[in-house]
Amino acid sequence: MKCPFCGFSETKVIDSRAGEDGTQIRRRRICEKCHKRFSTVESASLSVIKRSGIKENFSRTKIRNGILKATQGRNFESEELDAVVSEVVDSIRSKGLAEVDSYDIGLAILEPLRRLDAVAYLRFASVYQGYDTLDDFSKEIRKLKRSRKKSSKTA
């Protein structure tokens, strides 16, 4: 890291703190030559590989927008949706990868959305998994019903 004041390449970290959202680190540094202090912000970059092969930056906003579309017209507090978004982002980032496939992001959204609301889950799954017929929906609804029966028996 070069000093922004004198350009010297030797600097020392004197303090590190996590950013508010936990995805960045703020470091306080001092130049070994001119002894001036400055801050740097570091963040891990995450790229998404789309189906077309194009890479783009990971976007929490895109995940939130997808969840908002699936829950449109349903009665949810913003905090509930934020919790789902955070769970999805955390599960993706916890893998420690520099690149993630868009398909894997969709998979990460399905389970938290299923727990939140069956209708929102079906809406998202129908687009994500490409339901083409009523049979596709019927099969998924049967799976959801079986899943609910199992969870109510164990509760």
Residues 51 and 127 in one domain: yes
Same domain, 109 and 53: yes
Number of domain units in the chain:
2
- pLDDT of res. 62: 95
The whole-number pLDDT of residue 154 equals 66
Shared domain for 55 and 32, answered yes or no, is no
Q: Are residues 23 and 92 in the same domain?
A: no
Where in the sequence is the domain holding 117, given as residue range(s)? 47-131
Predicted confidence (pLDDT) per residue in 19-59, tens digit: 766 678 999 999 999 999 999 998 878 999 999 999 999 99
Mapped onto helix, strand or coil, the DSSP state of residue 108 is: helix
Determine, yes or no, domain membership for 100: yes
pLDDT tens string for the chain (155 positions)?
Answer: 899 999 999 999 999 998 766 678 999 999 999 999 999 998 878 999 999 999 999 999 999 999 999 999 999 999 999 999 999 999 998 888 899 999 999 999 999 999 999 999 999 999 888 899 999 999 999 999 888 887 777 66
My answer on whether 68 and 31 are in the same domain is: no
Q: Alpha carbon of 130 to those of 56, 84, 106, 123, 124: distances in Å?
A: 23, 22, 12, 11, 10
H/E element, 141: helix 134-154
Please check whether residues 91 and 125 belong to one and the same domain: yes
Tell whether 67 and 125 lie within a shared domain.
Answer: yes
Longest dimension (CA), the chain: 71
- Find the helix or strand (DSSP H, E) in which 143 lies: helix 134-154
Q: Do residues 15 and 39 share a domain?
A: yes
In-domain check, residue 1: no
| Residue 67 resides in a domain | yes
On whether both 55 and 127 belong to a single domain, the answer is yes
For 81-97, give the DSSP string: HHHHHHHHHHHHHTT--
Query: Does 52 share its domain with 19?
Result: no
Report how far residue 114's alpha carbon sits from residue 131's, in angstroms, rounded to the nearest whole number: 16
Q: What's residue 43's pLDDT?
A: 81
